[in-house]
């Protein structure tokens, strides 16, 4: 399905000026052969924003767009979402502590990590657990999140993971929102293309083909006025299959054993999590 993304719709607008500068922007898709394609770039306050202003036109069954506000790791391409491992794309919003313990858990899967972030390390744990569960991504995400909830300091684990024709999303715990919209062809009016925009002007997406086809959208905020947006429940894992059949189930039914608050985070990490 063709779609166009603007990852920073209006970087000079008052809405953008009211927020601190983003630390990275990225878009991941899969080509006609199922091979992942990723465009991403770290952005600092002094950086050229043309990369983010420029519309990205691409065709894919699944799309993963992300604006990063850094909690761990410097402004490097290796720390910018989405991440790619074993043909899967991953983006994360949250903070995990005790990264040395997480690295010990990874074992040889530590080789998949190229940057400094907790996000990429947690993705490697998802990859490890998925392979331990014979390629079952749902089981891999659930096992990784349960281990983190029991063993690491956790502020939030909100994630989206995609393959060429499937999508998974997890909200945990209730720190941040994570919304899902199962959009019928043409939207609620039955004849409209998709035109989604975040309130702060960070991401905008458009697809004319979705006037005729169904879609599932996952986002950290409601992206339009469609009444069908639903917030995932804390601990709920969403899976959307190739036929757009969606299943939702609670995979974590209790809070983290070592919950973090904003006061527990460093100033930079705390700033990254406010307003997410």
User: pLDDT tens, 117-144?
Assistant: 999 999 999 999 999 999 999 999 999 9
Place of tokens 């894919």: 60
Position with higher pLDDT, 69 vs 220: 220
Q: How confident is the model at residue 75 (pLDDT cuts 50, 70, 90)?
A: low
Among residues 133, 122, 154, the alpha carbon closest in space to that of 234 is found at 154
**pLDDT over 60 (residue 10):** no
Mean local confidence (pLDDT), 206-217: 91
User: pLDDT tens, 248-269?
Assistant: 999 999 999 999 987 766 655 6
Provide the 8-state DSSP code for 126. H
Position with higher pLDDT, 103 vs 58: 103
Q: Which residues contact 207 (CB under 8 A, 6 or more apart)?
A: 1, 2, 3, 4, 193, 194, 215
169 close to 251: Cβ distance less than 8 angstroms:
no
| Lowest-confidence segment of 45-54, 67-76, 211-220 by average pLDDT | 45-54
**pLDDT over 50 (residue 41):** yes
Provide the 8-state DSSP code for 112. G
């Amino acid at each position: 399905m063709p779609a166009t993304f603007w990852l920073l719709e209006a970087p000079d607008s008052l809405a953008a000026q009211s927020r601190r500068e983003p630390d990275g922007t990225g878009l991941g898709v899969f080509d006609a052969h199922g091979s992942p394609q990723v465009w991403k770039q770290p952005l600092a306050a002094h950086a050229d924003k043309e990369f983010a202003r420029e519309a990205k036109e691409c065709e894919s069954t699944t799309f993963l767009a992300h604006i990063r506000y850094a909690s761990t790791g410097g402004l490097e391409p290796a720390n910018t979402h989405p991440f790619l491992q074993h043909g899967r794309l991953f983006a994360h919003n949250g903070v995990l502590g005790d990264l040395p313990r997480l690295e010990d858990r990874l074992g040889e899967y530590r080789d998949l990590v190229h940057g400094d972030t907790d996000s990429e390390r947690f993705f490697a744990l998802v990859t490890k657990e998925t392979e331990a569960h014979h390629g079952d991504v749902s089981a891999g995400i659930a096992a990784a999140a349960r281990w983190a909830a029991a063993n690491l300091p956790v502020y939030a684990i909100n994630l989206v993971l995609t393959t060429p024709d499937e999508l998974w999303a997890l909200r945990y715990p209730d720190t941040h929102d994570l919304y899902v919209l199962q959009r019928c062809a043409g939207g609620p009016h039955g004849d409209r293309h998709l035109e989604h925009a975040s309130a702060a002007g960070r991401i905008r997406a458009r697809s004319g083909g979705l006037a005729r086809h169904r879609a599932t959208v996952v986002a950290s905020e409601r992206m339009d006025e469609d009444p069908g947006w639903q917030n995932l429940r804390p601990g709920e894992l969403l899976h959307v299959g190739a036929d757009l059949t969606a299943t939702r189930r609670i995979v974590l039914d209790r809070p983290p054993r070592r919950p973090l608050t904003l006061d527990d985070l460093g100033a930079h990490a705390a700033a990254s999590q406010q307003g997410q």
